[in-house]
A = this chain, B = another copy of it.
């Protein structure tokens, strides 16, 4: 399968991680069924945002991309995603893109104009089928191009602009358009035809429609199936960068265990949105602790909990277009059975239920006993603990200052925390802090 991965321009928030998690669960489920999965997830390491942000920070664009590629890798690891078979970078496949663009020109589906190359959308019968677009009513959202014959056409190659990175090509120096990247990388690693293409709902149009168009026009059957996952939303909208600042993976895992965050983020059906709220996250943490509670009690009172067989209803749910919510319901049924078996003095039944629970958790990447989680959790404990103690002390000091009507002192404390990059949220459980990513 080919999955559209990150544009590495910032530290990821939990919305950016959903894709990695959805296809990690799918990858694990296929592997459970005995398939050998060739899993390609690309890294878009050049685009307008990367260039702009790097320039604003006064850093080379390639250092900016490298730094944030590392931040994504770290976040995927933190949330227990198994690594893909290969993580190709867009800038690493210019040769293949140029060769594909050449084929498209040769076959009459693309044209060079004023240093750019465009895809001739009307040359391809069936354009728009994937996303249900009508050519006369749509916009590619990429602005005008000097030599664009039809506003519906999209860019395959952008002529070089001063001060921007560029590569040599038969049409002059420049850089690739966004869509051609994935057509060329999918073909490089998976060949002309492959099983599944995945990505977020926002990629259906124009990105995937245009990938499809390019690959079909070049003669590739391309993806047999498409899987589009919904977003993590806030007030129904795709989580935005600005809203997401306090929701970066490092910020959330400063107060929430990574394994519980994973449980929360894989819990919805991949085609449904996850409307983020601190309460929803807290509820998921509680639900996960309920599962752990059973496992702990059985281990303590009965004995070692082995990884048991998967209940048939769990397998059915997972096989039915990855119905994870139904699969989690099966886990919680078994937790209830395990708890009542303990209460009723039926230890063998409790052990069987706990074994089934551990088996289901394991296949979802949620086995608490997997050493992967131990290293992720152990990581930063002492720094986190000390920082937490310091911030709690400062917040108490602020409360005391306010009570004494010493507002200058209270404000200074608040300002120091904000300037350092800590976000403080008042919750019913008291203040909760997180780190705001710096870029």
Interface size band for A: 35 or more
Cβ-defined partner of A374 (8 Å) among B379, B387, B397, B416? B379
Check A422 for interface membership: any CB of B closer than 8 A: yes
A420–B420 alpha-carbon span in the complex (Å): 17
Whether B419 pairs with A393 at a CB distance below 8 angstroms is yes
Report A339-379 residues with CB < 8 Å from chain B CB.
371, 374-379
Task: Specify the chain B residue showing the minimal Cβ separation from A438.
Answer: B382
A386-B436, A393-B416 known; A66-B85 Cβ under 8 A: yes
Given known pairs A87-B66, A94-B94, A386-B436, the reply for A250 and B397 (CB within 8 Å) is no
Chain B nearest CB: distance from A414 CB in Å? 12
Q: State which of B74, B94, B383, B412 has its C-beta within 8 Å of the C-beta of A384.
A: B383
Answer whether residue A96 sits at the interface, using C-beta atoms and an 8 A cutoff: yes
| Contact status A421-B386, CB under 8 Å | yes
Does A93 lie at the interface of the complex (its beta carbon under 8 Å from any beta carbon of B)?
yes
Cross-chain contact of A167 among B84, B95, B377 (Cβ < 8 A): B95
Distance in Å: Cβ of A258 to nearest Cβ of chain B: 9
Residue pair A389, B96 in contact (C-beta under 8 Å): no
Measured CA separation A39–B38 after assembly (Å): 33
A249 to chain B: closest CB distance in Å? 10
* Contact of A382 (CB < 8 Å), options: B86, B91, B248, B417: B248
Cβ A416 vs Cβ B394 within 8 A: yes
| Interfacial chain B residues near A167, Cβ < 8 Å | 95-96
Is A379 a contact partner of B382 (Cβ separation < 8 A)? no
- A380 to B: closest C-beta gap in Å: 5
- Inter-chain contacts of A421 with B (CB < 8 A): 382, 385-386, 389
Please state if B435 and A189 are interface contacts (CB–CB under 8 Å): no
Interface readout for A70-111 with B: 1 if CB under 8 Å, 0 if not? 100010001000011111110111111011000000000000
Q: Is the CB of A375 within 8 A of B379?
A: yes
| Min distance, Cβ A69 to any Cβ of chain B, angstroms | 9
- Identical copies in the complex: 2
C-alpha gap A250/B248 in the complex (Å): 30
A293 at the interface (CB under 8 A from B): no
A437 at the interface (CB under 8 A from B): yes
Confirm or deny: A147 has a beta carbon within 8 angstroms of a beta carbon on chain B.
no
What residue in chain B is nearest A93 (Cβ atoms)?
B92
Contacts of A38 in B (CB 8 A): 60, 63
Q: Is the CB of A60 within 8 A of B89?
A: no
Judging by beta carbons under 8 Å apart, are B382 and A11 in contact? Answer: yes
In the complex the two chains form, what is the Cα distance from A89 to B62 in whole Å? 13
Q: Which residues of B contact A86 (CB under 8 A)?
A: 60, 62-63, 66
- Is A236 part of the contact surface with B, judged by Cβ < 8 Å? no
Chain B residues positioned under 8 Å from A89 (CB to CB): 89, 92
CB pair B389–A420 under 8 Å, yes or no, is yes
Chain B residue numbers with a CB within 8 Å of A93 are 92
Is A4's CB within 8 Å of the partner chain B? no
CA distance A382 to B99 in the complex (A): 41
Top 4 A-B pairs ranked by shortest CB distance? A378-B379, A92-B92, A389-B420, A390-B420
**Which A residues fall within an 8 A CB radius of B?**
11, 38, 60, 62-63, 66, 70, 74, 78, 83-89, 91-96, 98-99, 167-168, 189, 248, 250-251, 253-254, 371, 374-391, 393-394, 397, 412, 416-417, 419-422, 435-438
Q: Given contacts A74-B379, A386-B436, A387-B387, could you give 13 more A-B pairs where the C-beta distance is less than 8 Å?
A: A66-B84, A89-B89, A92-B93, A94-B94, A94-B95, A248-B382, A374-B383, A375-B378, A375-B383, A377-B378, A390-B417, A393-B419, A394-B416
